[in-house]
Amino acid sequence: MGHLLSMLSLLSVLLFTNCSDTGTPPVNKTYRFNGVMNVDEWRRTFVLQLPSGYYENDTARFPLVIGLHGTGGSASQFERSYNFSQKAESGQFIVAYPDGVPSDGLFGVRTWNAGKCCDYAMHHNVDDVKFISELISRVSADYKVDPKRVYVAGMSNGAMLAYRLACEIPQQIAAIATVSGTMQVQPPCQPSRPVPILHVHSAKDTKVPYLGGIGIGGYYFPPVDSVLQVWSSLDTCGGSRVLQDDGTYRLTEWYSCANGVIMRCYLTQDGGHAWPGGHKSASWADTPSTVINANDLIWDFFRQFTLP
């Protein structure tokens, strides 16, 4: 009987005591977080997704990609419509999906203040540059982020903010990717260093026309070619060349830029104002291009670059 009691006592210890050699409690392996932070007078929200390998190596540091939705979108919409968390998992990077400030109208449409666009965020002079800067700092402090590998990818109005971030806080961002957007900064862009840029657009986009002009919301959007010409000068590129033009899409690259920077532009002949390779974000939304996959192109581009 005494022997039996001893065995039961031992089993109890094994069941209710951590058996690691270090005596530390097991790690709570949570991979998804909903965050809130106050910036100026605004309550800002975001979603953070960690890759499966995050907890496997205590010394590992992971790239961070900030995904910026378009007008009327949201953090969850960006993730869902563009399958971006799947790409974060396969690429083993951390992804943060911030929300734009919602309007005070019936639908609470979320926008970003990209300078001369758009809507509520612009009219209320929301400091989205400050928000994203503080978001990068917070996530980098709280999680295992490699601060030299922080990137921004944006859709439409989010792409416009990505351009503004490249102009104003390039010291925090290694590269940007812009989809179906253009640059709307005011005053002129004066980055403190050259920035790698990947631009993706459809020739059939009428909401933010590639050739420029009046688009969605009655805003005037500068031609993308002009924007890229400005950036080729800012990045002091040596020239440009067409790498592919097969009738489905044209790929242009700017080369011999300062500090090893590269600029690329994919212009598709299918799709519309949408994320290539993604889903339609709504029944009334444009159909995405199928000749390229934005997620693959973006991550392949980003991982070439680190901050100096």
Q: Is 240's pLDDT higher than 50?
A: yes
- Cα 125 to Cα 89: distance, rounded to the nearest angstrom: 35
- Does residue 47 sit within a domain? yes
pLDDT on residue 3 = 45
- Cα 21 to Cα 72: distance, rounded to the nearest angstrom: 51
In the predicted model, what is the mean pLDDT of the chain?
Answer: 92
What are the φ/ψ torsions at residue 29 (nearest 5 degrees)? Answer: -85, 75
- Cα 33 to Cα 43: distance, rounded to the nearest angstrom: 17
pLDDT on residue 283 = 84
CATH of the domain at 229: 3.40.50.1820
Do 68 and 154 meet the contact criterion of CB atoms below 8 Å apart?
Answer: yes
Beta-carbon contacts of residue 287 (< 8 Å; ≥ 6 apart): 271, 272, 274, 280
- Cα 148 to Cα 226: distance, rounded to the nearest angstrom: 29
Q: Tell me: the pLDDT tens digits for 118-176?
A: 999 999 999 999 999 999 999 999 999 999 999 999 999 999 999 999 999 999 999 99
- Does residue 2 sit within a domain? no
- Does residue 15 sit within a domain? no
- Does residue 249 sit within a domain? yes
- Does residue 18 sit within a domain? no
Q: Tell me: the pLDDT tens digits for 71-125?
A: 999 999 999 999 999 999 999 999 999 999 999 998 999 999 999 999 999 999 9
The helix (run of H) or strand (run of E) holding residue 224 is helix 224-234
DSSP 8-state code for residue 109 = -
Q: Tell me: the pLDDT tens digits for 58-75?
A: 899 999 999 999 999 999
Q: Structural domain tally of the chain?
A: 1
- Does residue 14 sit within a domain? no
Question: 62 vs 22, which has greater pLDDT?
Answer: 62
User: Distance from first CA to last CA of the chain, Å, rounded?
Assistant: 70
Handedness of CA 166, 206, 68, 104 (dihedral sign): positive
- Does residue 13 sit within a domain? no
Domain that holds residue 146: 29-302
- Does residue 180 sit within a domain? yes
Percent of the chain predicted with pLDDT > 90: 87
